[in-house]
Amino acid sequence: MATVLNAKGVPLPYSGSSTKWYSATNSGPALYGSIYNDSLHGDSNVSVTMYGGKGDDIYYLYSTKNKAVELANEGVDTISTWMSYRLPAHFENLTVTNDKHYAFGNELNNIIAGGSGQQTIDGLKGDDVLRGGSGADIFVVAPGNGSDLILDFSVEDTVRIGSYGFTSFEQVHANMAGLLAFAGGRLLATGTGHHRDDRSGSK
């Protein structure tokens, strides 16, 4: 199983490769996956709720008419969409591809990715792994929302830290060493202000 280590050294899994594929085109209002790893494709013209069920499921949402539902303990599930999106409960991972859109996680440890252009990415609670992709991305970290790892923080990007406001790459380098640790393009947002853990002093 492919994983990426988060800021706490916990491996976060990606969804496994799909073995079955489903499309909402010409489906009824509910579309069900299998007990295996599924890819479920919405359709921008179809009002549909998709249920992947057991297994690692990847949902492609093309409009707000396309909904996705997962239950607890039913695999590692991913939503991929062009739209601004906030992960519902029981989803682990999210990709948002369009410029000037947001990608928000949930209380779980999420892997969240942006596409080209600018995404505003906030893992919310949990120790999330964030990757903006190309473009001038905005990463949001806040007190009480865990320790997030940004895999590709670059000069184009900004990080918004609770009440500190927007912080440039240069400001992060110069002033934020106690809060943020930067090494080799990876930015570790530890403790995020109020609840510093034992890694928060590392540079």
Q: Which is nearer to Ca ion, 45 or 113 (CB)?
A: 113
Nearest distance from C-beta of residue 101 to Ca ion, angstroms: 10
Q: Which is nearer to Ca ion, 27 or 203 (CB)?
A: 27
- Could you give the C-alpha distances from 46 to 10, 41, 42, 70, 169, in angstroms and in order? 38, 11, 7, 19, 43
Q: Which residues are CB-neighbours of 28 under 8 A, at least 6 positions away?
A: 48
Q: How far is CA 102 from the centre of its chain?
A: 10
- Could you give the C-alpha distances from 12 to 5, 46, 162, in angstroms and in order? 6, 33, 25
Tell me which residues touch Ca ion (CB under 5 A): 52, 57, 74-75, 77, 105, 110, 114, 119, 123-124, 126, 128, 132-133, 135, 137
Q: Which is nearer to Ca ion, 126 or 193 (CB)?
A: 126
Q: Nearest to residue 172, comparing CAs of 194, 153, 191?
A: 153
Q: Which is nearer to Ca ion, 124 or 172 (CB)?
A: 124
Nearest distance from C-beta of residue 132 to Ca ion, angstroms: 4
Nearest distance from C-beta of residue 75 to Ca ion, angstroms: 3
